[in-house]
């Protein structure tokens, strides 16, 4: 009886860990570097006339848990400017934005993180 109790306890812990890792936790979410790279390459801050230009590094405020669709919401703080007209640039603005991070394949068939701005 003494041997069975630690065995069942270890089995229970292993089962809980397996459920936790399989999607119920933040363990396999994007790293900070992945988030910054994906947000920078998302096309939101493309610059130029009619676009936003990033003026300061992106600050990650909060990473959410995995959604049912497989995306990971990430709240970031971004400082950017935009053109008021063809010659005048606005003052820097701080905004808190939420991006959904999803894994995708690039042209070379490598797995990358892709950021999509939520509305």
Threshold 0.75, pTM exceeds: no
Stretch (H or E) spanning 83: none
| Maximum pairwise Cα distance, the chain | 81
Q: Phi/psi zone of residue 64: left (φ > 0), alpha (ψ -120 to 50 degrees), beta?
A: beta
- pLDDT above 60: residue 36: yes
Query: Tokens 């959410």 correspond to what residue?
Result: 64
Query: Tokens 């089995």 correspond to what residue?
Result: 11
**Cβ proximity of 74 and 46 under 8 Å:** no
Q: What is the pLDDT of residues 41-93, one digit of tens each?
A: 888 888 777 778 888 888 999 999 888 988 999 999 999 998 888 888 889 99
Of 3 and 38, more confident: 38
């Amino acid at each position: 009886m003494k041997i069975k109790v630690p065995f069942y306890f270890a089995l229970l812990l292993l089962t809980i860990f397996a459920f936790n890792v399989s999607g119920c936790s933040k363990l396999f979410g994007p790293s900070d570097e992945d988030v910054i790279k994906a947000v920078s390459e998302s096309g939101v801050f493309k610059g130029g006339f009619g676009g936003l230009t990033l003026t300061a590094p992106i600050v990650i405020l909060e990473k959410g848990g995995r959604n049912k669709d497989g995306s990971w919401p990430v709240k970031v703080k971004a400082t950017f400017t935009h053109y008021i007209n063809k010659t005048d640039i606005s003052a820097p603005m701080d905004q808190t934005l939420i991006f959904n991070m999803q894994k995708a394949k690039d042209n070379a068939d490598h797995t990358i993180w892709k950021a999509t701005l939520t509305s």
